[in-house]
Amino acid sequence: MTFSAMLSTAMLAKGGLSAENTGNTGGNADESSSQYAVKKPFGDSKDVARYDHYRVYSVMLDTNQHVNLFQKLEEQSDSLTFMGHAREVGQRLTVLVAAHKVADFGILLEIYGVQHRILALNFQEKIDRNMKEVIPADAAGASLDWKHFFHLETIYDWLEHMVAQYPTCLSIVEMGNSTHGVPIKGLKLSRKSTNKTIFIESGIHAREWIAPAAATYLINELLTAKHDAIQKLANDFNWIVFPCVNPDGYKYTFEHDRMWRKNRQLFGTCHGVDLNRNYPDHWNTTGASSDPSRYDYAGPSAASEIETMRLMDFLKANVENEQIRTYIALHSYSQMIMFPYGYTKEHVPNYNDLQELGSNAANRIQEISGRKYVSGSLIETIYPSSGGSMDWAYSNMKVPIAYTFELRGPSDSSDMFILPANEIEPTAHETFEAIRTIVEGANEKGYYK
């Protein structure tokens, strides 16, 4: 069956899919879909969001007044898209400002004396350039490379292509379907059933296109690299890699809005839950929103989302029998290697080990490419956030080696999530080497005994 045929079949079966998810305590999903009768994931619309003359600002919050100003601005206006929230004096913040607001915003910066830099004058130019680096959706999986960006259809065809190339050690793994009935698929590499397993989750945030690309690169490297140490890693560990755990969101970024982050569940007039705020671990306690219109909406309840339940069910069913001892989540951007927790500054029991392995991984990247990655606990490194998959895997599934990577570019990047395609390969390579450093280091410390 073709991917689109699969999608239509899944659409027809949508009633069955909802019935299956009786664990969805949110309740909103069914009410909203009957009210708005969603039959196709994105309707018949061919409309595409545009960001002409949107500006990217980097602002410095030098005083409490600045912090208050930006907190109010974020509350008041959805014409300003914040990367993180205004929290404290001394913080640098990136804000995407809608074209019709640039004059007013500029005047506010002047009146309140906010130091700032304009990182980009016309964000749409970056998106246009990026879309030229996308290979059409009907491209076969065999044509996948790390010099272009690929639609979900091609990535999924590549998974099948790889299994056909390596039938003795590779197999397709599936979590089940997304909110809109798209399968959540990945690969399992296993040469010995007794091996401990490394689990890679990628693409939970739709617009972070480098993440699925880094995940497919990792699989390819494990299978094709000649280096002894890499072959050893592929022989002595099993790997379960899901390149895209938010397939509806990922598709939406190619078809309708390059800057979409969440899933595509409907809540009355707003779409989407931030799936990395939806996990049942200190859910919605900090760095998450209760407002469905926000980019970090935590959902109506913990684990309300189908994609969250799929991943949780998969991990619960496999963490023991597959001996999953490492959990790595791939994101962009900011160049960070972070470990639990996201919701509290309290240290995890193996903080020192995770700090050491994370720093070694960051050093390895600097050796390879000169890029500077920062390592630390998530709350210390990027910002407070709760309900993330990594915290849940670490605390609830007892996976002791758990990291969230923010890949290229740097935190003051003017490209934000729009990484140029010529950076895919170097980014994926340094990420692979960082993961290798972590796994080899954890092995030396006895985590896989």
Segment 150-179, which members bind Zn ion (CB under 5 A)? none
Residue nearer to Zn ion on the CB measure, 211 or 233: 211
Q: Which stretch binds Zn ion (CB under 5 A): 60-68, 203-211, 227-235, 395-403?
A: 203-211
Token pair recorded at residue 39: 């039959």
# binding residues, Zn ion (CB under 5 A)? 2
Segment interacting with Zn ion (CB under 5 A) among 86-94, 202-210, 295-303, 427-435 = 202-210
Rounded Cα distance, 267 and 30, in Å:
10
**Exposure on the CB side of residue 158, measured as CA atoms within 13 A:** 26
Give phi and psi for 388, each to the nearest 5.
Answer: -80, 155
Query: Shortest distance, CB of residue 276 to Zn ion, whole angstroms?
Result: 6
Residue whose CB is less far from Zn ion, 160 or 380:
380
Q: How far apart are CA 168 and CA 316, in angstroms?
A: 26
Q: Does 408 bind Zn ion (CB under 5 A)?
A: no
Q: In whole angstroms, how close is the CB of 102 to Zn ion at the nearest point?
A: 26
Neighbouring CB atoms inside 10 A of 37's CB total 7
| Min dist. Cβ of residue 208 to Zn ion (A) | 5
Angle at 98 between CA 95 and CA 99, to 5 degrees: 130
DSSP letter at 342 equals S
Distance CA(288)–CA(85), nearest Å, equals 10
Of the two residues 170 and 273, which places its CB atom closer to Zn ion in the complex? 273
- Restricted to residues 95-114, the positions that interact with Zn ion (CB under 5 A) are none
406 is catalytic: yes
Among 126, 331, 429, 436, binds Zn ion (CB under 5 A): 331
- Residue span binding Zn ion (CB under 5 A) among the ranges 33-41, 205-213, 396-404, 427-435: 205-213
Tell me which amino acid residue 56 is.
V
Contact 42/255 with Cβ under 8 angstroms?
yes
In three-state secondary structure terms, 417 is coil
Q: How far is the CB of 407 from Zn ion (least distance, A)?
A: 10
Q: Which of 221, 406, 430, 433 is catalytic?
A: 406
Exposed / middle / buried, residue 55 (Cβ in 10 Å: 0-12, 13-18, 19+): buried
- Is residue 205 within the footprint of Zn ion (CB under 5 A)? yes
Q: Is 436 in the site for Zn ion (CB under 5 A)?
A: no
Residues numbered 3-42 forming contacts with Zn ion, rule: CB under 5 A: none
Under the rule (CB under 5 A), what is the footprint of Zn ion? 205, 331
- Residues identified as active-site: 406
